[in-house]
Structure 1
Amino acid sequence: MIYKKDANFPYPLLTNTSNSYDGCNFTLDIKLNENTYEYIFQINYDIESDFIKKLIRENKAQLVLVVQSKDNKFFNLSLNEKIKTIPKNRISLSKRTTIQLLIQSKEEINFKENNDLNTFYGSIKDQINVPKHSILGFSNSVMFDGSTAKPLELFEKKVDPNLKSEVKVELGSETIIINYKSDELQFIDSPVSSTINNIYVYMGLQKALYRFVNIYGGEDEEVDLEELDLPIDGLDLKLYGLMKSKMIKNVSLENIDEVICSITDRILEKYTSAVRGLYSNGN
């Protein structure tokens, strides 16, 4: 569960709002990235109590990452573990996702040597015994919207009856524009219209990434995203941010299709499933 600032415990607790510890805080910051199969949590935290950190080092206490969405998921962390990779089939993030870091005792803890406590506990701290599996502290909570990027927001759709081809893909200053000769080409009367149009989304991403590689790849025709300065062009900046959020390190003419698969979570697989579904239903 996620603990709130007004949670009451019968013993001193390390939090950012409790007066139990003298000048000690427990802060958490999370950055979330993802690829096709995993969520990657970049975890930065600061435990200002030497007593608590010693307990963790000596394996007498455990850091626990709590991810609360539709249900609660718990993941143990080591003291210096800063990246936690979790398969997407193990958790489901939503717009109500909250993340918090807990400290839990692994054995009975006596507070006699806890010199970080408020002076109020000075004469009685040797009498404080906290049972095994008890919460020793909790951080602030971090909220997430459940997604780090929405690739389809890169696109605009327009209808132009004067086109000389059925579909024309253009690269605008901020978006990839899919022009259709008629509404019928968008399958607007189909319940899976959006998914069937994935084939045009794929075409658009291919065109945009080919240009991206040609502009920033130089003679090697490969772009090292770790070394690349932020693009000035709006569309290229969106593509750069999307690839970085999916932990992609380089893009080239050779791996463009792999990159598209990663940044769209297997867009052609979804397209194929939709078409097969229509075929099975006799449409």
Structure 2
Amino acid sequence: MIYKKDANFPYPILTNTSNSYDNCSFILDINLEENTNEYIFEINYDITSPFIEKLLQNGQATLILIIQSKDNKFFNLEYGQKTKSISKSRISLSKRTTIQLFIQSNEEINFKNNYDLSSFYEEFKDEIYVPKNSILGFSNSVVFDGSTNKPLELFEKKVNPNLKSDVKIELGSETIIINYKNESLQFTDLPRSSTFNNPYVYMGLQKALYRFIVNNSEDHECVDLEEIEPPNDGLDFKLYNLMRKKKISELNIENIDEVIYSISDKMLEKYTAAVRGLYSNGN
């Protein structure tokens, strides 16, 4: 099964939201490729608990990849394994698919030397024994929608000389469309043209995130991303995945710019550097 929220366990569990561990997390990101016969999952994860990491390294625990589509599929991963190829005859991504990583114990584990736990466990952690084949932690979940036509594309650029403005942002069913009145507005004659388009990208994200709030909340002001189901709208679905990967739990009218900063990899900072570089080269 997939855990979307913290479940009750009789011992400490490593998750991204649990209070059992101090300043520890278990973050998962998945990239998907495919060929004729296989789905190829590129698995990137970050476990910041040295105790758990050592258990995996020593073979006392195992990483398990869970793929939930029509049913649940479980695949063991070797320590350090970052790619998993799975035959298309074994799984189907034609429907919405959720992926998560579990950490499972291979033997009975004592938490006496687990110095990553919160202070609550300090006086009795040496009495904590976790049985073999128990879950020690689980990551965030990553959702794919096999029905999208453009699963990796968030933005489209088009030229429309009939525009009544220089630039027009439209929200399509799966992408944010930036329409330009003429091609020169895209800075295509400059070496870093894509970076010079970042202000338009920023505008598009603002508009798309505002619509996300309207589509996915009753008050049109705030969305609790940990409570809602993944949206059915293709563009909203992509934005939902992007925000959840960055551990954003809430989107509201007031924090849209903060969310853009978190999901856009210093977009405006790169734009500023490109402009300054152009100025320096001109001099």
How does the TM-score come out when normalised to structure 1? 0.52
SS at match of 1:56: helix
Residue number in structure 2 paired with 1:146: 146
Partners of 2:27 and 2:68 lie apart in 1 by 18
Once the two structures are superposed, residues 124-173 of structure 1 have per-residue CA deviations (whole angstroms, 9 ceiling, x without a partner) of 100000000000000000000126767xxxxxxxxxxxxxxxxxxxxxx9
Partners of 2:115 and 2:27 lie apart in 1 by 20
Residue number in structure 1 paired with 2:71: 71
Once the two structures are superposed, residues 3-49 of structure 1 have per-residue CA deviations (whole angstroms, 9 ceiling, x without a partner) of 12131111000000100000000000001010100000011000000
Residue number in structure 2 paired with 1:98: 98
The 5-angstrom pairing of residues 52-67 of structure 1 reads 52-67=52-67
SS at match of 1:104: strand
SS at match of 2:103: strand
Unaligned runs of 5+ in 1: 151-172, 175-229, 231-283
Partners of 1:90 and 1:149 lie apart in 2 by 22
The 5-angstrom pairing of residues 168-183 of structure 1 reads none
Once the two structures are superposed, residues 195-246 of structure 1 have per-residue CA deviations (whole angstroms, 9 ceiling, x without a partner) of xxxxxxxxxxxxxxxxxxxxxxxxxxxxxxxxxxx9xxxxxxxxxxxxxxxx
Unaligned runs of 5+ in 2: 151-157, 160-193, 195-283
Partners of 1:16 and 1:123 lie apart in 2 by 24
Letter of the 1:27 partner, please give it.
I
Residue number in structure 2 paired with 1:121: 121
Partners of 2:148 and 2:135 lie apart in 1 by 31
Residue number in structure 2 paired with 1:44: 44
SS at match of 1:7: coil
Letter of the 1:104 partner, please give it.
Q
Q: CA deviation at 1:90?
A: 1.0
Residue number in structure 1 paired with 2:88: 88
Residue number in structure 2 paired with 1:109: 109
Partners of 1:112 and 1:55 lie apart in 2 by 13
- C-alpha contact (below 8 Å) 2:44/2:82 kept by paired residues: yes
Partners of 2:31 and 2:144 lie apart in 1 by 9
Runs of 4+ off more than 6 Å: none
Residue number in structure 2 paired with 1:27: 27
Query: After alignment, is 76-85 or 19-28 more displaced?
Result: 76-85
Q: CA deviation at 1:95?
A: 2.9
SS at match of 1:73: strand
Partners of 2:129 and 2:107 lie apart in 1 by 10
Letter of the 1:113 partner, please give it.
N
SS at match of 1:91: coil
Partners of 1:60 and 1:148 lie apart in 2 by 40
The 5-angstrom pairing of residues 8-27 of structure 1 reads 8-27=8-27
The verdict on how the C-alpha distance between 1:130 and 1:103 changes in structure 2, with shifts beyond 3 A counting, is: same
Q: CA deviation at 1:121?
A: 0.6
- C-alpha contact (below 8 Å) 1:70/1:94 kept by paired residues: no
Letter of the 1:46 partner, please give it.
D
Residue number in structure 1 paired with 2:238: none
Residue number in structure 1 paired with 2:266: none
Letter of the 2:61 partner, please give it.
A
Q: How many residues align?
A: 154
Once the two structures are superposed, residues 170-192 of structure 1 have per-residue CA deviations (whole angstroms, 9 ceiling, x without a partner) of xxx99xxxxxxxxxxxxxxxxxx
Name which one, 1 or 2, has greater alpha-carbon Rg: 1
- C-alpha contact (below 8 Å) 2:6/2:15 kept by paired residues: no
Q: Highest relative contact order (Cα 8 Å, sep 6+), 1 or 2?
A: 1
How does the TM-score come out when normalised to structure 2? 0.52
The 5-angstrom pairing of residues 230-241 of structure 1 reads none
SS at match of 2:41: strand
For the aligned residue pairs, the C-alpha RMSD in angstroms reads 2.0
Once the two structures are superposed, residues 27-85 of structure 1 have per-residue CA deviations (whole angstroms, 9 ceiling, x without a partner) of 00001010100000011000000000110111110000000000000011122111111
Partners of 1:7 and 1:75 lie apart in 2 by 22
